[in-house]
Each structure stands twice: as C-alpha cells, then as structure tokens.
C-alpha cells in the first residue's frame, strides 16, 4: 500500500470518528430539566458551589454574615443524570451548607398537564445561529491536516488535494460543532377565544446562552442536547438573578402567562403593536397583513411588498404542527409592546394564537 493510500485511509478514519462524535453530541435530550433542592446555610457564606458531576452544577452568590442562618430552595441539575446528593463547596470555609433533600415537583407537573396537550406540544422557538468560532475538535483536525501534508512532501499534487479535502472537513466541523453567540426568542402561546382571560396561555423562551428563569412561573425547562446544566444564582440586597446555561445546547423555559384583560380580535387590537402579522383561515390558507397598530382593527391583505431584505414569509417553525380547522394568528411583536416579563436585549417576541377568533 502506498504512502498516499495509507494517509487517505487515516484521514477517512479520523473524519468518521469526528462525525460520529458530532452525531452523538447533537442527540435530542428531552425531558424536564427543572429540579429543586433544599439547602440550609450557616454564615459566614459568600458563595456555595453544588457539584453534580456530568449532570452539571449550581453556583450561588450571596452575603450571609457570621451567626446568620438561612434556608433556600435552589435549582439543581436533574436527578435523572446524577441521583446522589450534590457535593458542596462553601466560601469562606468557616461557613456551612447542608443539603436537606430534593423538592417534590408533583404539583408543578400537575399544573403543566392541566394545559391543553396541543398547547404543550407546540414547536419550540429555535435559536438562530450567530457568530461561529472554532472548537477543540476542529483545531485538532487542522493540526492533523498540517501533519499529513508535511508527510506527503514527496508528492506535492497529492498533498494539495489532501489539504483541500481536510480544509472542507474543517469548515464542516466548525459549522457542526462551533460555538454560537447567544440569541433569544420567545413565543406567547395561546389557545382559545379573542379574550386573553378566556384562553390558555404559555410563554416559551429559548436561548443558546444564559437563560433567566422566574421560578414562581416556570413549569418546565427543556434542552435540545445532552450536556452539563449550569445554574448561576445571585441573591443580593437589590434583587435576585437566576440563569441557566446548557453546554453545547439550547434551553427552553415554559412558563405560565397571564395576559390579564388584553384581547385581540379582527375588530380591535388592545394587546400591543405588532410589526408583522399573519392569519390562517379555517381552510388552511395564510394571509400577510403587514403591521397592526394598537387600538386599530386588523388590516386587510397587505399588497405592498415590504422593504428589500424583509419579505413577508412566515418562518416555518411557527406554522408547523398547528391543528387544522382553526383560525390562527401569528405576529411579531414590535419593540416595547407587551410580551410577558421584561425582554432581554435583542430578544425576538412572537404571538402564536390558535382559535383566536370565531
């Protein structure tokens, strides 16, 4: 066997191993990732790290003075991945943290199941790819390419072809496994009549980076891929923050949503300004209406084409899996319009309402 054949065989095996690893890393995780534990703290405590191995970790920042005690309910990686109690580190070491036990989630699960199955099974908001950076496997592929090309100095033409093949493989690997800049999307999911108070509602929020979670309203959290779940909890005098991030994956938090007296019917919009609106008739046909201002009736069919680069095309994930025979409203909310809890900077907000009008 020639040197070129052996080199090509090694490259083929290397790419096969990497692609199989990428396939495993992109497997769907599924299941509810929202778990809570009870923790007793005895000061002085500035920070607590609860480590659960491959499942993930929770870091808590707070200011507990010497002699003070406090009991907290804190988020933890799911028990299904690591059933034992977390390993605890306290700073400073004079403080103490005791894991009391897991919090029963049956009540939250029952509240989740009270929502319509068609509402719970809606397509989750996807996170749009952002800037891509090289990862360790792609850098290893680049190094392998350099070494193989050096080894083929006696055959320049073969070395050139091999380098081209490996460069293409490197580009594919970066796109398949590259880190993506965090982007955020939320969807107000509705089912029912034009009155928000007479409908069922959920708020679905997705993020590729840190996702803030309101424990009081959150019913479920899902991940697109298996990976370590990292919680960052800050308990300060001026407010609290709770953020979750999934290594190499996207998180979606599904929460209760109360639109109060907001309504949105063909005759009047008292919900909020919408800059792009689509409706679907009972026969399944979609229409684009353009912008819908607060306090106005639903505009007719938009005949004018919007500005270049913004065609009136409804994203496919918003129309996927919706039940037939129902009227549907899908709208992109304008900046500043009500869309549930305060939006993160740059977060897209959508309204998807099935059976919104008689």
Q: Is the pLDDT of residue 21 over 50?
A: no
In this prediction, residue 28 carries a pLDDT of 36
Stated pTM of the model: 0.75
Whose structure tokens read 């397509």?
123
Tens digits of per-residue pLDDT, 165-221? 666 665 555 554 444 444 899 999 999 876 555 689 999 999 988 999 999 999 999
Of 122-131, 149-158, 347-356, which range is least confident? 149-158
In this prediction, residue 248 carries a pLDDT of 83
In this prediction, residue 334 carries a pLDDT of 95
Contact 324, 160 (CB under 8 A): no
Give me the residue spans of the domains in the chain.
3-28+131-180, 117-126+182-209+250-354
| Rounded Cα–Cα distance for residues 255 and 188 (Å) | 10
Contact 231, 76 (CB under 8 A): yes
Q: What is the mean pLDDT of residues 69-78?
A: 94
Q: Is the pLDDT of residue 109 over 50?
A: yes
> CA triplet 191, 31, 117: central angle to 5 degrees?
20
Tens digits of per-residue pLDDT, 262-296? 888 899 999 999 999 999 999 999 999 999 999 99
* pLDDT band with cut points at 50, 70 and 90 for residue 144: low
State both tokens at 102. Answer: 């897991």
Using CA atoms of 100, 105, 106, 107 in order, give the dihedral in degrees to the nearest 10. 110
Residue 47 CB partners (closer than 8 Å, separation 6+) = 59, 60, 61, 62, 90, 91
| Rounded Cα–Cα distance for residues 37 and 59 (Å) | 13
Q: Is the pLDDT of residue 7 over 90?
A: no
In this prediction, residue 93 carries a pLDDT of 93
With b for 16 or more beta-carbon neighbours within 10 A and e for fewer, the 223-238 pattern comes to bbbbbbbbbbbebeee
In this prediction, residue 284 carries a pLDDT of 93
If phi > 0 it is left, if psi is from -120 to 50 it is alpha, else beta; for residue 198 that is alpha
| Rounded Cα–Cα distance for residues 99 and 355 (Å) | 47
In this prediction, residue 149 carries a pLDDT of 58
| Rounded Cα–Cα distance for residues 121 and 320 (Å) | 11
């Amino acid at each position: 066997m020639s040197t070129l054949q052996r080199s090509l065989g090694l490259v083929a095996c290397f790419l096969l191993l990497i692609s199989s690893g990428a396939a495993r890393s992109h497997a769907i995780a599924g299941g509810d990732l929202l778990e809570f534990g009870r923790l007793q703290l005895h000061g002085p405590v500035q920070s607590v790290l609860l480590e659960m191995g491959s499942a993930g970790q929770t870091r808590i920042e707070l200011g507990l003075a010497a002699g003070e005690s406090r009991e907290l309910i804190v988020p933890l990686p799911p028990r299904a991945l690591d059933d034992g109690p977390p390993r605890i580190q306290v700073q400073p070491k004079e403080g103490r943290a005791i894991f009391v036990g897991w919090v029963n989630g049956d009540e939250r699960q029952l509240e989740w199941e009270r929502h319509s199955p068609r509402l719970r099974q809606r397509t989750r908001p996807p996170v749009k790819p952002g800037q891509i950076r090289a990862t360790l496997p792609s850098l290893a592929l680049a190094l392998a390419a350099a070494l193989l090309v050096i080894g083929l100095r006696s055959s320049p033409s073969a070395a050139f072809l091999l380098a081209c093949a490996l460069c293409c493989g490197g580009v594919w690997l970066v796109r398949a496994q590259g880190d993506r800049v965090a982007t955020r999307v939320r969807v107000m999911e509705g089912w029912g009549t034009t009155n928000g108070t007479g409908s069922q509602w959920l708020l679905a929020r997705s993020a590729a980076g840190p996702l803030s979670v309101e424990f009081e309203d959150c019913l479920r959290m899902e991940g697109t891929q298996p990976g370590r779940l990292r919680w960052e909890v800050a308990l300060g005098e001026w407010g609290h923050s709770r953020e979750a991030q999934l290594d190499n994956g996207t998180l979606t938090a599904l929460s209760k949503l109360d639109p109060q007296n907001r309504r949105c019917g063909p005759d009047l919009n008292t919900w909020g300004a919408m800059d792009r609106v689509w409706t679907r008739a009972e026969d399944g046909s979609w229409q684009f209406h353009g912008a819908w201002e607060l306090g106005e009736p639903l505009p007719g069919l938009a005949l004018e084409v919007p500005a270049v680069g913004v065609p009136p095309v409804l994203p496919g994930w918003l129309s996927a899996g919706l039940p037939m025979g129902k009227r549907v409203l899908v709208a992109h909310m304008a900046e500043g319009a009500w869309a549930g809890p305060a939006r993160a900077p740059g977060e897209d907000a959508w309204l998807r309402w099935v059976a919104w009008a008689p």
